[in-house]
Structure 1
Amino acid sequence: MKLLARTSLTLLIVVFALLGPQSASAEPSADSTMKPPRVTADAAVLVDVETGHVLFAKNERQRKDPASLTKVMTAIVALEAGRPGDVVTVSERAARFGRGSVIDLRAGEKITLENLLKAALIMSANDSTIAIAEHVAGDYDLFVRWMNLKARQLGAHDTRFMNTHGFTHPNHYSTAADLAEITRYALRIPQFAALVRTREITVYWRDSDRKRTIRNTNRLLRSDFEGIDGVKTGTTSAAGHCLIASATRDGRRVLAVVLHSDGRYLDARRLLTYGFALEPVEVATRGDQITRLLVREGVRPDVIVVPAETVRLYIPEAQLPALEKEVRLKKTLEAPIAPGEKLGEMAFRINGRLLGQVDLTAGYRVARKPWYTRLR
C-alpha cells in the first residue's frame, strides 16, 4: 500500500495543499493491471461510481453518436415521471416503428410501463421507448425535451437528445464523460439497477395470454467476469459498437463507457480490470497529528488535532500530484475538550471533485482550569 508523505498544515481555517473481437469472455492482456489499458474505442472513460472520479479517460469529452445508450436517459425520465405499474395502451406510432430491435408492439394492446422498460433496457427494444414516452409525457416530443432538461440538470452539457431510442440524427450526441455521469445517476434508482443486471426475463401483456422471454444484449452479464452488474449496449452503423459496463467487487463499483469500439467487450473488461487493480492510497491515518489548536481556559494550552478514521482512496499514481487536501477547523476552542470531540474536517479533492472526507477530532482530553485560578 502506498502512503502519501505527511504535509505540514498551518492554522488557517481553510488550507489547500496540492499534493476488435466482440467476445465477452476474451481475457485482458497481462499488463492491464500494471498500467493504463489500451483500448480500441474512439472514446472511453472509467469512473468510480461512488465519487465519479475519473480513473482513465480517452477523448472523454468528444461528442459521439450514443446509439441505444440513449435509453439510459429514457429510463431515468420514465421512472421519475411515470409509475411502473401504469397500464399503457400502445399507439399506432409505437406499433409502426419497426427499425432495429423491437418487441413487436401492436396498436391498441395493453402492457404495463414496467414491462416496456424491461424491453427497452434488456433487449433494447426501440418501439417500447416510443410507447413509454407517449404515455409518461402525453406527447413524444415533450418527453424528449424532458430528457434534455434532465441531462442539463446532471451536468451533461455536451449531450443532446433528438429521440428516445438512439437512432442516428445529426443533432443527437453525447460524450463518454456525460454518459458516465448519466449512468451513475441512473444506478441510484433501484428499478433501473435491477433491470440492467438482469440476464433474462419474461415480458407480459395485459388482457391477453401474450408473453415473450427476452435476453440481455450485454454479453458481459453471461461471461466469467467477476462482479459484472450492467449496464447497456448500443449499436448503429454510425455509432459503431458502444457499451456502458459496470462491476462491483468488495463493495466498490466501477463504470466503463466505450464508444465506437472495435472490441467493446474486451475494451470494457480491460478498463474494469484496471479499475479494480488500483491499490488504495492512504491519505489520512487515524490518530496521526495534523496540527494543534489553542484552548482557552484549559489546564493545557492546546490540543492536538487528529483524523477520526483512516482514509484510503483509489487514485492512479499519475494523479497523486493533483490531490488537494482541504482542512476546516473551529476558530476558537474553550475547555473542557473531550477526547474524540469534533474540531473540524478534512476533505480530499481532485479537480474540484470530492473523493473523500474525514472528521478531525481532539486527540486527548483538556480539562477546564479550576474557577479560582481563572480569577487572575
Structure 2
Amino acid sequence: MLLLAGLAAEAAPPEPANLHLASVNAAVALAGNDELLYDKNADRVVPIASVTKLMTALVVLRSGQPLDEWLTFLPRHREAPNNAYTRIRQGSELRRRDIIRIALMSSENFAAYTLARHFPGGYDGFVASMNATARELGMTSTTFVDPTGLSPLNRATAADLVRLVNAALEYPEIGEFSTTGYFTARFRKPRYDLAYGNTNVLVHRDSWGVGLSKTGYLSEAGRCLVMVSGMADQQVVTVLLDSFGTRSPLGDAGRVKRWLTTGSSGQVAGAAKAYEQRRNAAYASSADVEHAAVN
C-alpha cells in the first residue's frame, strides 16, 4: 500500500471538480491512506445503514474469538429498530467465521446481531467496543447504537469510513468474507443449508478487482456502498453514501474509476441531481433543528 501511495504521489491527482457523483456524500482515497483524493460532504454526519457491519466484523476479529466456534442464534432480547427479516432459524448453530461472512457479503442482520450476543460483555459490551474502536481509529464523528445498521442512529462521515476501511484492510478475513460471491451456510441443530449471494454485483466482475465491499440501505440513509477496488493501477477506497436508486452507487463507482483513469467522470442524471437537492435541503433542515435544540 505504501508503494502504491508513493507511485500516486509522483503524478498529480485528477481535478476534483471534474468528478460528478449521484451520491450526496462521498470520499475517495488510496487504500492505506486516510488523506482524501476527493471529498463531497465528507465531514457530514449521516446514517450509514449496513455499512455498520464492517465495524461489527472488525470488533469480532480484533477480539481474537475463535472463528471455528459454533454459535447459537438466540431469540432477540430487544426489538429490532427496523424490519429484520431472516431465513435463519432461532436456536440453530453456525460457525463464527461463516456468521461473519454472511453478515458482510449478504448483509444478514440476524448474523450481525448474533455476533454481538456472543461477545464478552454481551450485546451492550459489543456496542461499547464498537464505539471505543471508532475513537481509537480517529473516527471522531461516528456513533454506533447497534451492530446491524438497522438503526438510523448509527451515524458517521464518509471521511470516518475511509479510516474504518483502512483498519479493516489489516484483516484479510474481512476482505475475503465481504467479497465472497456466493456461499452456502451449513447450519446444525437442526441441520439445514441456506444459500447467500453478495449484495454488490461488482464483486463478480474480475475487471474491478474488488478487495473489500459493503453495501447498505435504509430510507434514512439512502443507498450506500463502501468498497476497495482496483482503479488506475491502484487500490482505491470509495465511500458512497445516500445514493439515488439501486444502481446509483454502481454508476458512481464507475464514475470514480473513469475520473482516476481519464481525469473526467462524465455527468449524472437529472433525477439524481434533483434527489441530491432534496437531500441537502433535508440535511440542512435537520442541522437547524439540532442546533436549535442545543441552544
Answer yes or no: same fold by TM over 0.5.
Answer: yes
The one-character-per-residue Cα deviations of 1:225-283 (angstroms, maximum 9, x if unpaired) are 432333110001110111112212586210110111111111122113323557xxxxx
Superposed displacement of residue 125, structure 1: 0.7
Q: Which moved more, 1:250-259 or 1:117-126?
A: 250-259
Which is higher, the Rg of structure 1 or of structure 2?
A: 1
Q: TM-score, normalised by structure 2?
A: 0.77
Matches within 5 A, 1:220-235: 220-223=202-205, 225-235=207-217
Give the partner amino acid of 1:110: E
Give the partner amino acid of 1:116: I
| The one of 230, 237, 242 aligned to 2:224 | 242
Cα 1:275–1:251 shift into 2, 3 Å:
closer
Give the partner amino acid of 1:156: M
Matches within 5 A, 1:40-59: 40-59=22-41
Report the counterpart of residue 293 of structure 2 in structure 1: none
Q: SS where residue 225 of structure 2 aligns? A: strand
Bigger helix share: 2
User: How many positions carry a matched residue from both structures?
Assistant: 250
Q: TM-score, normalised by structure 1?
A: 0.61
C-alpha distance in 1 between matches for 2:176 and 2:9:
37
Cα 1:50–1:277 shift into 2, 3 Å:
farther
Matches within 5 A, 1:1-376: 36-81=18-63, 82-93=65-76, 100=83, 102-169=85-152, 171-223=153-205, 225-248=207-230, 252-262=234-244, 263-277=248-262
C-alpha distance in 1 between matches for 2:227 and 2:262:
17
The one-character-per-residue Cα deviations of 1:136-174 (angstroms, maximum 9, x if unpaired) are 2341111000000000000000000010111234x4210
Q: SS where residue 46 of structure 2 aligns? A: coil
Bigger strand share: 1
Give the partner amino acid of 1:109: S
C-alpha distance in 2 between matches for 1:179 and 1:47:
11
C-alpha distance in 2 between matches for 1:95 and 1:145:
17
- Unaligned stretches of 5+ in structure 2? 1-6, 264-295
Superposed displacement of residue 34, structure 1: 9.7
Coordinate RMSD, CA, aligned: 2.8
Superposed displacement of residue 124, structure 1: 0.3
C-alpha distance in 2 between matches for 1:196 and 1:274:
25
The one-character-per-residue Cα deviations of 1:347-371 (angstroms, maximum 9, x if unpaired) are xxxxxxxxxxxxxxxxxxxxxxxxx
Give the partner amino acid of 2:257: L
C-alpha distance in 2 between matches for 1:87 and 1:226:
34
Give the partner amino acid of 1:247: S
The one-character-per-residue Cα deviations of 1:310-338 (angstroms, maximum 9, x if unpaired) are xxxxxxxxxxxxxxxxxxxxxxxxxxxxx
Q: Which moved more, 1:225-234 or 1:90-99?
A: 90-99
Q: SS where residue 155 of structure 1 aligns? A: coil
Contact 1:232 1:245 in 2 (8 A): yes
